[in-house]
Structure 1
Amino acid sequence: MQDLEIYIRDLESGAVSRWLEGQLDQLQLDDSDVSSVAKGTASFNGARLRISLYPGAFGKRFTSLVLEGEDLPWNSDLECARSAWRAMEGEIRCSLGDWKEGDPVEDEKWWRLDHRGEQQVVWN
């Protein structure tokens, strides 16, 4: 099982489903209320995957999007973030890819994608 996770700032209703409709098959996700947890499913290359939205990640302005499945359309969180940014044009963040559960996060760098481009930043 693979997973990808990105963080979307100021997520708008329906934005994730509009983006994923062009990327996945059989998308079933109701993201009309972005203030509460939303879960859905889809398929990619015939494999089923799970989609979860968790509002209030890293403060009130970010929503965590987690995609889990055997086969995903992107090979890294950064590739996923780039695709999301092209579709939504808001701020998207993701890990650099080397963080492991249990590692300290105080000085951890993240990718931030926004109108200024792609930059490595400390979250705060």
Structure 2
Amino acid sequence: MRQPDIEIYLRDDHVNDLLDWLHQAMGPLTLDEPKGLTQHGALRGDQTIPLMVVRKAAGKWASIWFDSDATPWESDRDCARAVHAAIGHEVRCSVGGWEEADGEADADRWLKVNAEGEAEFNWAQ
């Protein structure tokens, strides 16, 4: 089932690699001037896809949020796989869709995609 939006995490020092790849793979990318650690923008390919980059959202990790169901990926996992394949850096994402109503038990379950493959882990530990 297609997720309504996509969010991945990438180390801050690799965000520019991601942004360069997005521009090449998906079309023009526009970014506003950063406001603190947050930067808004959009990919303007076949459809406009709003995105937000939050540097240091989780320690050294930046959050990249695509606020659209019109991305090329059906899930965070699909996006993480594609980004890792394209830029070769570890990408993290939630294991599956999560909402507060789901409770806290699965909130810290994450997936990392890197050169060693894919593995679930608990980010809180």
Aligned equivalent of 2:7, options 5, 8, 11: 5
Normalised to the residue count of structure 1, the TM-score between the two structures is 0.80
Aligned equivalent of 1:26, options 25, 28, 37: 28
Match of 2:40 in 1: 39
Task: Provide Cα deviations, 1:15-57, integer angstroms capped at 9, x if missing partner.
Answer: 12212023322321379x8x83221111343x21111100112
Alpha-carbon distance change, 8 to 27 in structure 1, aligned in 2, over 3 angstroms: same
1:101: how far off? 2.8
Superposition misfits of 4+ residues, deviation over 4 angstroms: none
Match of 2:71 in 1: 72
In structure 1, stretches of 5+ residues that fail to align are: none
Match of 2:52 in 1: 52
Q: Using the alignment, how far apart are the partners of 2:110 and 2:54 within structure 1?
A: 18
Q: Is the CA contact (8 Å cut-off) linking 2:6 and 2:68 kept in structure 1?
A: no
1:13: how far off? 5.4
SS in 2 for 1:54: strand
Instruction: Using the aligned pairs only, state the percent identity.
Output: 28
Task: Provide Cα deviations, 1:40-88, integer angstroms capped at 9, x if missing partner.
Answer: 111343x211111001122x21000000124111000001001111122
Match of 1:16 in 2: 18
In structure 2, stretches of 5+ residues that fail to align are: none
Which has the larger share of helix?
A: 2
Q: How many residues align structurally?
A: 120
Q: Is the CA contact (8 Å cut-off) linking 2:12 and 2:55 kept in structure 1?
A: no
Alpha-carbon distance change, 111 to 14 in structure 1, aligned in 2, over 3 angstroms: same
